[in-house]
Chains A and B, each alone.
Chain A
Amino acid sequence: MIEADEDRADAFFHALADRTRRDILRRVLAGEHSVTALAASYPMSFAAVQKHVAVLERAGLLSKRRQGREQLASGDVEALRSVASMLTELEDVWRGRIARIDELIQED
Chain B
Amino acid sequence: MPVTNVTKDLDARSLVITAEFAASVERVWQVYADPRQLERVWGPPTHPATVVEHSLTPGGRMHYYMTSPEGEKYYGGWRVLAVEEPHRFTFEDFFAGDESFTPTPGMPVSTSEFTLEPTASGTRAVFTTTYETPEALQQVLEMGMEEGATLATNQIDALLAEG
Contacts and interface: CB of A to CB of B under 8 A. Distances in A.
Interface centre among A23, A26, A102 (most CB of B within 10 A): A102
Interface of A: 1, 6, 9-10, 13-14, 16-17, 19, 22-23, 25-26, 29, 80, 83-91, 93-102, 104-106, 108
B31 A9 contact: no
A84 B147 CA distance: 17
B141 interface: yes
Interface residues of B, number: 46
B101 to A, nearest CB: 21
Nearest to A87: B151
Interface in B103-148: 125, 127, 133-135, 137-138, 140-142, 144-148
Majority secondary structure of chain B interface residues (helix, strand, loop or mixed): mixed
8 contacts: A13-B138, A16-B134, A16-B156, A16-B159, A88-B151, A90-B145, A96-B44, A105-B21
A13 B141 CA distance: 8
A88 B8 CA distance: 12
B1 A91 contact: no
A93 B3 CA distance: 13
B163 A97 contact: no
Given A87-B155, A97-B42, A105 B160 contact: no
Contacts of B163: 19, 22-23, 26
Q: Is the interface of A mostly helix, strand, loop or mixed?
A: helix
Interface of B: 1-3, 6, 15, 17, 19, 21-23, 27-28, 31, 37, 40-42, 44, 125, 127, 133-135, 137-138, 140-142, 144-156, 159-163
Contact of A93 (B37, B133, B135, B146): B146
Contacts of B135: 17
A92 to B, nearest CB: 8
A26 B163 CA distance: 9
B144 A102 contact: no
Contact of B17 (A89, A98, A102): A98
A14 B138 CA distance: 7
Contact of B152 (A14, A25, A87, A89): A87
List the 6 shortest-distance A-B pairs measured between CB atoms, nearest first: A90-B148, A91-B150, A13-B138, A93-B148, A100-B41, A87-B151
A73 to B, nearest CB: 15
Given A98-B19, A101-B28, A104-B31, 20 more contacts: A1-B144, A10-B141, A13-B141, A14-B138, A16-B134, A16-B159, A17-B134, A86-B141, A87-B152, A88-B151, A90-B148, A90-B150, A91-B150, A94-B127, A94-B148, A98-B125, A100-B40, A101-B31, A102-B19, A105-B27
